[in-house]
């Protein structure tokens, strides 16, 4: 029960890393609000609260966080997980594709942190975990907008960590390597095989392996941890 009594909001919780994190937090005693623009493939346990949530909407962020505070009185943990991926190189990237990526993967994180910080400053406590990527640190050919957004999340997290450290708010980023999720399962197998081949452990990760990293950062066990990049990547970034 490492999160006993804590109120946690997990975005992008209909599948993959978000779903694994929401379910793990629930097992660890948290009051979990799971948000996504899509419903989960199967119902959540009755103890998890589901909310429809478009992370690109400023109004919906205010509504979702406001409802959590009204019902539970606080917000202790935010997991900014909702995201999309695309692989267009710079010269073939259309403006609408660029704007969509930035809206979901970067602006969604900004809006989430802003709403959470406004609550957590009043509490003088809280933990924010932003899901970046190995490609927020290292680069491969193509995927220009994804690299841009995830790289921004990396530094946005550090900025917020330094800005609000005196308010008892911890902000960290998690950088997954290749993880088997519905998002990656929908990709070309050859693309997935190429990333796994570049991973020293020679396998893809499981969503639960990322969820356990989020659990540590959300818990009081990480009370002296802020501004870090937690790489959970099978050794990819150690090369």
Q: Residues 4-13: pLDDT tens digits?
A: 999 999 999 9
On the CB side of 154, how many CA atoms lie within 13 Å of its CA? 17
User: What are the residue ranges in the chain where pLDDT is below 70?
Assistant: none
| Predicted structure pTM score | 0.96
- Of the listed 146, 216, 224, 236, which one is catalytic? 146
Q: What is the pLDDT of residue 169?
A: 98
CATH 3.40.50.720 fits 7-232, yes or no: yes
- pLDDT at position 152: 98
CA 231 to chain centre: 13
At 183 the pLDDT is: 80
Active site residue 146: yes
Residues 6+ apart with CB under 8 A from 110: 156
- What is the predicted pLDDT for the residue at 184? 86
């Amino acid at each position: 029960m490492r999160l006993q009594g804590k109120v946690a909001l997990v975005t992008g919780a209909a599948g993959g890393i978000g779903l694994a994190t929401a379910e793990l937090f629930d097992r660890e005693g948290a009051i979990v609000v799971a948000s996504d623009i899509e419903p989960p493939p199967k119902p959540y346990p009755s103890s998890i609260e589901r909310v429809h949530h478009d992370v690109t909407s400023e109004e919906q962020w205010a509504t979702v966080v406001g409802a959590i505070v009204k019902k539970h009185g606080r917000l202790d943990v935010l997991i900014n997980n909702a995201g999309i991926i695309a692989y267009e190189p710079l010269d073939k990237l259309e403006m609408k594709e660029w704007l969509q990526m930035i809206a979901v993967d970067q602006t969604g994180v900004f809006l989430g942190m802003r709403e959470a910080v406004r609550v957590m400053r009043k509490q003088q406590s809280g933990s924010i975990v932003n899901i970046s990527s190995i490609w927020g640190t290292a680069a491969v050919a193509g995927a220009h907008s994804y690299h841009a957004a995830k790289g921004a999340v990396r530094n946005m997290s550090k900025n917020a960590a330094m800005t609000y450290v005196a308010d008892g708010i911890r902000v960290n980023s998690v950088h997954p390597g290749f993880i088997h999720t519905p998002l990656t399962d929908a990709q070309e197998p050859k693309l997935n095989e190429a990333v796994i081949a570049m991973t020293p452990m020679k396998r893809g990760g499981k969503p639960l392996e990322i969820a356990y990293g989020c659990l540590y950062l959300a818990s009081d066990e990480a009370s002296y941890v802020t501004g870090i990049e937690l790489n959970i990547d099978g050794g990819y970034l150690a090369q």
